[in-house]
Structure 1
Amino acid sequence: MDLLLSARPGLGCTVVEVSGDLDMATSPQLRDSLQQLIDAGDRQVVVDLGGVGFMDSSALGTLVVMFKALRDVGGRLCLASVQPGVRRVLSITSVDRVVDIYDDVPGAEATCRPRTA
């Protein structure tokens, strides 16, 4: 299954909607997309994983690297709408103790600091 990514302005953040499997073949696409947002100045990113049913260790590594990249520039990455199988991977690896996970995108957006001009 191909990976589909789209970014849109959220409430005080950027929401990246992901659909498809996150694996060795597709995780570079996710990394590149998130890096482009960081390079463009985005500092609060919500990754909507509602359309992701499978995630392997390479995708997990990508999320952790991008979490750290945003943290290093004073930003924040969080996850929303995580499906049960993916949530299990995040829990087993204890990533859910570091990266904030929300039941849905509006819940994640509610924790984002408003953008200042």
Structure 2
Amino acid sequence: MTIDIKYLQQMEAVGVGFTVHVRIPGGGRTLFLNADEVSQYLADKDGFAACQFGLTRQEYAEWVETDGFVRCAGTTTSRTRCKNYVSGGSHYEPEKWKRLQGEYCAVHGGPASHEA
């Protein structure tokens, strides 16, 4: 699909807006695009959304898939990654979700839910 950026810019100049709906934990969010961003979005929807949230494509997919929960970085006695989540909540915004990566659940030394 060829996008005529000049046409989009003309549309934008007279007040036409461009919005897209992207996935986030718990639902979706509307992003407002400028004319130059339309072709970027159409070329790679998830990559564009990831960039808007300050995440890599892989981080964005995990953030959405885990519903914003942060998975424990601990290892079980069977040497697999713990399936528990870090205490404190869900639907974290991307910045906090990313910052909490590598933290532990209460079983593996992280804070208990009443402490988080």
- Relative to the length of structure 1, the TM-score reads 0.20
Select the structure of larger CA radius of gyration: 2
- Asked which structure has the greater RCO (Cα within 8 Å, sep 6+), the reply is 1
Name the structure where strand makes up a greater proportion of residues: 1
